[in-house]
A and B are shown apart, each in its own frame.
Chain A
Amino acid sequence: MNFDVGKAVRMSDIIDAADGRGLIIDTTLSSVVGALPGLEDFATAIVKINQSCDGLIINPGQAEHHASLLGGKHRAAPIIRLDWTNAYRDETFCLPATEVKRLMISNAEDAFSLGASAVVASFLMGYGDDFEATNIQDLSFLARECYPLSLPLWIDIRTVGEKVSEINFEESIKLGASFMQELGADGLIIPQCLLATCRYVCEWMQIPVLVRLKQTPTAEQLSEIMHSGAAGAVLPESLFALSDYPQQVNELYFEIHQGRRA
């Protein structure tokens, strides 16, 4: 008997049960720096891609206000982001962060009532010890909260702190993946890294691993990532700044799924 049938069913909204792959698009940076180029009118932007990706990472407010655009057959499943951080406010933002902060903005029950197929929260690596401990505590409680609701928990590993450099970047990803699997995550999102690292993590993990891309990849780049064992990719918000993003998403969706289906 599969005791995790609820999670399995919801996870299949995001990772196609037929080929074990998924294409996810993140829209949540707007909660940190305001509307991003191409995402000023959220509904208009989402309508163009919600039938050509498997999941959309979305903030609770937008999930509530645009519920009819998400979920259901042939449409992107809502993955609700439950945390917020100012870590991505750099000098290009009108109020650059001077001290990194993070907080939980929602919980599993709330996301469930918003129709989430899964929830996602970040593990921010490379900041102070207190920061790391609080982050792990929040995510641990979240994992416990998701379990009785059969709600899949994705952890978004972000190696953005000052303690992460080129020297330890790849190993930091492995450390973060290890922690998060032990913590009880149902899926991981890791930063774009060397293919060797990606392959190592994907073979080791017994949960799906998605790769967060820095920018929209070419079909060849995506193919390499998929062949390293990743279950799919997460496209960043910068995607929406491209004039032909609906077409690009279509092509990437085909690239991710056609390899296995062909």
Chain B
Amino acid sequence: MEMTSGKRARFNRLFNPVDGRAVCVAADHGWMSDPTPNVVELERILKQVVEGGADGILISFGTALRLGHILRGKNSPAMLIRADWMNMPRLGGSNVSNVLPAVNFKKIATSFATDALLVGASAITIYYFIGYGDEFERINLEQAALFARQCRQVGLPLIIEPMAVGGMVTGVNIAEILIASGRIAAEIGADALKIPYTGDVKTFKTLVEQAGIPVLVLGGAKSDVPRDALELVDEALQAGAAGTVFGRNVTKAKDPRKMVADICALVHGGKTISNILNEKRDGFFRLKTIPENCIGCRLCQIACERSHEKGYGQNKSRLQIKFPEIGDELCNFKPVVCTLCGKCVKACQPNALTISATGHLTLDREKCTNCSDCAIACPFDVILIDDEGFPIICDLCQGDPQCVKWCKQNAVVTVPLKKLPGRL
């Protein structure tokens, strides 16, 4: 998809340039529905969302003025501005609280593209309601077209959110309507879509293919259990979605930081849901690297050393980052980790090194003779020797590897291990 340089530059802040995906959080609910706790405590929640590693946060113009400072910094989430307002949640029939019911469905434009630029936005988001009647759709498209023109003029990406609502929408035709509405939005001038899941991979794949622009799936009402929300993400990704815009599933979560981190692990890290939900603890696992994700930030090394040595260095880290050689610009950073190959265990004559019954490398310092044979046997050179002559080994942080936890790029992940190598 082609874009003007302004739009491309701003999109690059939203979509991870490595995988072209984005994890966004919608935090604009206070603009359109009752001030529930997730609205009242928005500042605290947004800080956690930032910590979780979100790529973008959707907020209203007023919230941008009030809390935009949270998004300062090159690596902080991109700001998406909700440029319109509607009263649909107050019409009844939705699952949100509603102290002042509305009767007539209204949707109005509330900000210009230039307003969004002034507060540092990387994109704006607007609704496109389809199915509520011909005149209402005409108004929606008129506003969408106006925003498309404004955004082209100032180089600001436009994200359109098609919503199939109204008496003409049924369970039978909703997928078809969403597919059509995605393409219509693209034809009018959307640069990306924020759109509900159609309910199955096949129809959502059709939607993604026919839209021809990046598609971000939205989460809708809060799921009863996190697994349901993650399964929706997983299916949307299988269908070719470019990421997510989850609102209440994050802002109403017990731990918004973890929820965002979990979604990031799915979207960017290629992790499985079982992996994310710690269901892997039922079996053994090992570390695996995804070099193309690595940006060489060394946060994994710092987390490793902090966890084991209580310091912030990198000299005693259990994993290494190999940097590209000069003249080899195409080469990525290469994280090198212990893969539990077991060669060190086999090389250890005094049996000081073993793999425990829980699947972690263990050193018995009483038995260790400081021979360094384990370090020599390591094919990846990740076993270092400390000042006292003992090997510095990766013990997978006893089942909670900090390098995996802290790597926002998901360059270090865990994979199941069917069988443990070496002697136990």
Give the B-binding residues of A (Cβ under 8 A): 28, 30-35, 40-43, 59-62, 64-68, 84, 86, 93-95, 97-107, 110, 113-114
Contacts and interface: CB of A to CB of B under 8 A. Distances in A.
Given A94-B177, A101-B138, A60 B148 contact: yes
B1 interface: yes
A30 B183 contact: yes
Contact of B188 (A31, A95, A100, A101): A31
28 contacts: A31-B184, A31-B187, A34-B184, A41-B212, A59-B188, A60-B148, A60-B189, A62-B186, A62-B187, A64-B3, A64-B152, A64-B189, A65-B1, A65-B212, A65-B213, A94-B177, A95-B168, A95-B177, A98-B133, A100-B134, A101-B135, A102-B138, A103-B141, A103-B145, A105-B141, A105-B145, A106-B145, A113-B152
Range, interface on chain B:
35 or more
B191 to A, nearest CB: 8
Contacts of A95: 130-131, 168-169, 173, 177, 180
B2 to A, nearest CB: 5
A260 B137 CA distance: 46
Interface string B358-388: 0000000000000000000000000000000
Contacts of B212: 41-43, 65
Contacts of A104: 142, 145
Contacts of B141: 84, 103, 105
A110 B149 contact: yes
B148 A66 contact: no
Interface in B209-245: 209-210, 212-213
Contacts of A105: 141-142, 145, 148, 188-189
Nearest to A103: B142
Q: Is the interface of B mostly helix, strand, loop or mixed?
A: helix
A66 B130 contact: no
A93 B179 CA distance: 12
A103 B173 CA distance: 25
A103 B138 contact: yes
Nearest to A110: B149
A65 B177 contact: no
Contacts of B152: 60, 64, 110, 113-114
Contact of A94 (B4, B137, B180, B209): B180
A61 B187 contact: yes
